[in-house]
Structure formats: C-alpha cells, structure tokens
Amino acid sequence: MTDPILDPLNPEQREAVTYKEGPLLILAGAGSGKTRVLTHRIAYLIREGVPAKQILAVTFTNKAAKEMRERLDRLVGHERLAELTVGTFHAFCARLLRHDGPLVGLDRGFAIYDEGDQRALLRQAMADQGVSEKLFAPGAIGATISGAKNEMHGPADLAASPKNQLERVTAQVWPRYDALLKENNAVDFDDLLLLACRLFATNDRALERWQDRYQYLLVDEYQDTNRAQYELLRYLAGFKQNLAVVGDDDQSVFSWRGADVRNILDFERDYPNAKVVKLEQNYRSTQRILDAAWSVVRNNAARKEKKLWTERVGGPDVVVMQAYDERHEAELIAREIEHLRRQGEVKGARDVAILSHERAVAADRGCVPIVRARVPGRRRRVLLPAARGEGCPRVHAPPAQPAGLGGPRARAQRPAARHRRQDAHEPAGVRARAEPHDRGGAHPR
C-alpha cells in the first residue's frame, strides 16, 4: 500500500518529516524540496494524532502561504486544513492582537497602515517637530524607525546612542509618529511584531494561552528572520520547544531589511538538543551549476557545512564574462541573446531573464535599452529582479538606442579580447569566455 506522505520523500526528507518532538533545524539547500518537507511534516503530524489546530506554520510571503495551503489541501483535506494556522508572521501577529491587543493598550479594531499611510503620517510628524524634508526624506526616517523596531528598540534607545545625524533626527520624530498612530488607532507592519513580543513579555497568562494553542511550530526561510521574529518564536516555543525551522544560511540576502543570519547559525546554541537534518540533494539544477555555486559559497566566512549534489549530471558550461563598464556589459548580454537565438535555444527575448543585483544597475545604467536595441522582436519588456524580493516585475524599456554604443572614443579605448585558460581553482564546467565577435571582447574574469 502506498503512503502519499512518506513515499515521495528521499531519506533525508523523510528523516525531517518524521522527527516529532523537540527542536529541529532543516538545512535546505536551493532546490532541495523544502516546501515539500514542510507540508509533508504537517500532514505527518496530523496523521500521528496532533490536532491540526495546535500547528502553526509561518512563512514570509502570502504567495508562499497560499502554495503551502494548496499542497496541504491535497494531503490532509479541506476539513482539517480549515483548523490549521498557515500564514505570514505579520498575519499571525495581527490575528493575535485582534484577540489580546487591549493587554498592550491596542484597541481590537486597529487599522494596519501600509507604506503610503506611514509616509503621510511621517510627513505630518516631521512638520509637527519642525524637521524639514529637505534635511531627510520621510522614507529615510521611516526606514530607520523600521530597522530599530525590528531590533526591538524604541525612540529612547535611538536617542541615547545615535550613530549619525539621521538617527538623531529620527529619534526626534519617532515619538510624534507613534503618537499619531495611536490617535488614529493604527499600527504599522513593524508594530505587529513588536507589540506581539511585548504582549508575551508582559503577560504570562496570555503567553501560556498561546503556547497551549500552538504546540508545534514550523518556520520557512528561517535565515531571513529578524530579531523580533526570533524573539516571537522563542516565546511561543516555550519549554516544549517543538520548533522546526527550514532555511539555508547561504541564501541569506536580506540583511539590509533586518534579517539576521545568526538566527540560523546559532540555532544549535539556542536549542542545545536540536536535531539537524541536511537536505543536500538538488532537484532543480545540473551538477555543473551546483559546482559553480559551491565554488562561491564555500568562501563565506560563517556558514553551515553542506554541499549540494544532483542526479542530473553534465549540463552546459557556466560562462563567466567580465565587462569594462555597464554599457559594455549590456552589449555582451544582448550579443549572448542573439547567439542563443541563432542556436535555436531560445525563440526570442521573452524566453530570457536578466537578473541583476539591483534594479537600478540594470535599468538606470542602460542595460534594458541596450538589450532592447540589440534583440529583434516587438517585445519591449525585460524581466528584472525586484529590489525587495517580491518576484520579477516587468520593467518597460525606454526607446531603442542605436547599436553603435559608447561612441568612437569609448570603442577605441577597449583593448582586444584575450582568452584565458581555466584557472586551477575554478570548478569543472565553469569557463571564462572572450566573445569572438565583440569589438573589444569580453575580458574573462
């Protein structure tokens, strides 16, 4: 008889799913099936007799929560799914405060202000405090307040030891901003986490009630948690510590918005009896891609030891090219797309995604218009990464520019392309390449 919960899992995934009591750290590399492990673990707990209403699964995005619920619907059925709590940190905290908000001075009918509302309130607070927007933009002050709240600091903490003029001004505006929120019976997104932690820190009865309600906790993308989220989970885990977290320290890229990779690196210190399971089998990429990625991440100063592998051997080489400036880089990208078209590997620009470290690098420096100018077809949009990790929005390219980019002086200054032998430290399957048809060539890294 087949088992729909355990049969689809590899040995490491099954080990993580069937570990029932105590803290559990699941180190899940990219493409290793972490969402499957989370959903199948929930289904397994329910099958083993854990009431669905005692399980809390938190994610970072509504999209991830929706995907998890859809998978669970197929595994446990709609009736049991209705008793589960699956959602984002902020959604859970909002639900908690709708119930116990008065214990921290918050009316249950509070409004949650979005970014636009917050900015309008910050402008009013700045005006009330005599702070000109010519000195600092409301967005800069709002970001400083947000960062401090995520570290569970208050205005007094910022005023006591400001690091710069922005923090000094923020400490002046912040109390008025909070007062205006209170006048409007509103909170911002950071307050949801901060007030939930304050509730647990100041009211033992409320803490015990929520600990009894949720006896099994599951957390996705644990490497992206901030201080407030970390403290919230510590409170909820209590003495039973049935906390299962999934994450990958090598994928921690959100420190700029408060994420603290130490949360995952120090998990075993915080929970000494923790079980650690490594998911190292990758189902998404070829071995050559994994080897190339490994050659980079292995140099991280602080990381959990793991190395991804796959049954998908071989695959095309990873090509590394170095450009002289952003315009030259865009030319190389356009030329590569043309090459792929000629080889029949892609039909057009719509089949290609251009990923950049920052949206501004690709759009503001001319990457989009150059690629548009060089690639035939009517499509006027190029996929670019979002600045805050919300996916890949379509960015409209400006009008096409002539193919002769950079001017005669810039073209004359580009030295001829030089080939380079593969470095002894580069992984197999990674090759540096000079473009044979480039006016100046792609100088290999």
Helix (H/G/I), strand (E/B), else coil: 285: coil
Helix (H/G/I), strand (E/B), else coil: 434: coil
For the record, the structure tokens of 342 come out as 């000629």
Q: What is the mean pLDDT of residues 403-409?
A: 38
pLDDT at 386: 34
- 70 or 364, higher pLDDT: 70
Query: What's the CATH number of domain 11-84+214-295, 3.40.640.10, 3.40.50.300, 2.120.10.80, 1.10.8.60?
Result: 3.40.50.300
Q: What are phi and psi of 443, to 5 degrees?
A: -70, 115
Inform me whether the pLDDT recorded for 379 exceeds 80: no
Inform me whether the pLDDT recorded for 230 exceeds 70: yes
* Digit-coded pLDDT (tens) for 47-73: 999 999 999 999 989 999 999 999 999
* Digit-coded pLDDT (tens) for 25-51: 999 999 999 999 999 999 999 999 999
* Digit-coded pLDDT (tens) for 175-222: 999 999 999 999 999 999 999 999 999 999 999 999 999 999 999 999
Inform me whether the pLDDT recorded for 376 exceeds 60: no
Helix (H) or strand (E) holding 41: helix 34-47
Name the band, by pLDDT with cuts 50, 70 and 90, for residue 247: very high
Alpha-carbon span 110 to 100, nearest angstrom: 12
Taking a C-beta distance cutoff of 8 angstroms, is the pair 282, 301 a contact? no
Alpha-carbon span 65 to 88, nearest angstrom: 7
Give a three-class secondary structure readout of 92-147: HHHHHHHHHHHHHCCCCCCEECCHHHHHHHHHHHHHHCCCCCCCCCHHHHHHHHHH
Instruction: With CA atoms as reference, report the closest residue to 194 among 245, 229, 156, 157.
Output: 229
For the record, the structure tokens of 257 come out as 């918005």
Helix (H) or strand (E) holding 83: none
pLDDT at 348: 74
Taking a C-beta distance cutoff of 8 angstroms, is the pair 282, 63 a contact? no
Task: Output DSSP code: residue 353.
Answer: B
Name the band, by pLDDT with cuts 50, 70 and 90, for residue 359: low
For the record, the structure tokens of 183 come out as 């006048």
Q: What is the mean pLDDT of residues 302-307?
A: 88
Alpha-carbon span 412 to 408, nearest angstrom: 6
Alpha-carbon span 135 to 165, nearest angstrom: 10
Q: How many CA atoms lie within 13 A of 293 on its CB side?
A: 16
Kindly list the distances between the CA atom of residue 298 and the CA atoms of 33, 282, 286, 290, 327, in Å, as whole numbers in the listed order: 21, 17, 18, 12, 31
Taking a C-beta distance cutoff of 8 angstroms, is the pair 243, 271 a contact? yes
Alpha-carbon span 417 to 325, nearest angstrom: 15
Inform me whether the pLDDT recorded for 17 exceeds 60: yes
Inform me whether the pLDDT recorded for 429 exceeds 80: no
Helix (H/G/I), strand (E/B), else coil: 56: strand
Instruction: With CA atoms as reference, report the closest residue to 131 among 186, 162, 164, 177.
Output: 177
Q: What are phi and psi of 163, to 5 degrees?
A: -90, -20
pLDDT at 314: 80
Alpha-carbon span 147 to 158, nearest angstrom: 11
Residue bearing tokens 């950071």: 190
For the record, the structure tokens of 195 come out as 């007030």
Q: What is the mean pLDDT of residues 143-147?
A: 95
Q: How many CA atoms lie within 13 A of 143 on its CB side?
A: 9
Return the CATH number of the domain spanning residue range 114-183. Answer: 1.10.10
pLDDT at 356: 78
Q: What is the mean pLDDT of residues 284-293?
A: 92
End-to-end CA distance of the chain: 55
DSSP-assigned letters across all residues of 361-425: HHHTTTHHHHHHHHS-SS--EEE---TTSS---EEEPPSP--SS-SHHHHHHHSPPP---PPPTT
Domain parsing of the chain, residue ranges: 11-84+214-295, 114-183, 325-406
